[in-house]
Amino acid sequence: QVHLQESGPGLVKPSETLSLTCNVSGDSISTHYWSWIRQPPGKGLEWIGYLHYSGNNNYNPSLKSRVIISIDTSKNQFSLQLTSVTAADTAVYFCASGGHSDWLDPWGQGTLVTVSS
Amino acid sequence: DIQMTQSPSSLSASLGDRVTITCRASQNINNDLNWYQQKPGKAPKVLIAAASSLQTGVPSRFSGSGSGTEFALTISSLQPEDFATYYCQQSYNTPLTFGQGTRLDIK
């Protein structure tokens, strides 16, 4: 059974870089596409982007200039970096399997990141 | 971007009721439509993939239908654990986009 777990700082200062990691267990990270999704408090879901270990990636144009998704096959994990954050980037960030012409399943439990000085 | 519009945005219903949530895409997405259930403080869970494919472990009271631009999620007989927020999501092309959500609560 595949399990995903996000980790990273819960508080980031404005203009700094948000960095999160998703640890994957129960499957090889080389097998699938992997996505990041976020959800501002009390609001809906926004797909951030996906990555495959082959290097094929795709980012939401609304965030593309500030996003990097990377993968570490040796640790079976993938990461999200979002630069120049503002209060508008405050959200619960989820990692998930899939996103390349398919559904997102499973998801990590999510981690709240607050952007504040 | 493909816009996904759900209706209603909120819905009150009773145990045992049959409810239907609709999702409209701004362009043809074939059957590349997925439905998720999200409970407070939890991650979304996929219920239906590819418009009508019930996912493993999901109760048979859930069903999905539609193609092209019009889709529906039906719950045949509401159970206590079904009160949650439901989202549709298109996987036809990127960026992946979600509907705004339908909050289903107890009448």
| Model confidence pLDDT, tens digit, residues A27-74 | 999 999 999 999 999 999 999 999 998 999 999 999 999 999 999 999
A45 touches chain B (CB under 8 A): yes
User: B65 near B50, Cβ under 8 Å?
Assistant: no
> Who among B49, B50, B95 is closest to A47 (CB)?
B95
**Distance of alpha carbon A47 from alpha carbon A101, whole angstroms:** 13
The pLDDT score that the predictor gives to residue B95 is 97
The pLDDT score that the predictor gives to residue B46 is 98
| Residue B45 with chain A: CB contacts under 8 Å | 105, 107
| pLDDT(B96) > 90 | yes
How are beta strands A77-82 and A18-25 bridged, if at all?
Answer: antiparallel
Identity of residue B17 = D
How are beta strands A57-59 and A46-52 bridged, if at all?
Answer: antiparallel
> pLDDT tens digit string along B46-82?
999 999 999 999 999 999 999 999 999 999 999 999 9
Is A45 within 8 Å of B89 when comparing Cβ atoms? yes
The pLDDT score that the predictor gives to residue A101 is 87
* Residues B29-46, mean pLDDT to the nearest whole number: 98
**Distance of alpha carbon A109 from alpha carbon A66, whole angstroms:** 24
Q: Residue A63 — left, alpha, or beta (φ > 0 → left; ψ -120 to 50 → alpha)?
A: alpha
**Distance of alpha carbon A73 from alpha carbon B95, whole angstroms:** 25
* Residues A72-86, mean pLDDT to the nearest whole number: 97
| pLDDT(B7) > 90 | yes
With CA atoms as reference, the chain A residue closest to B42 would be A109
Structure token pair of residue B41: 């403080």
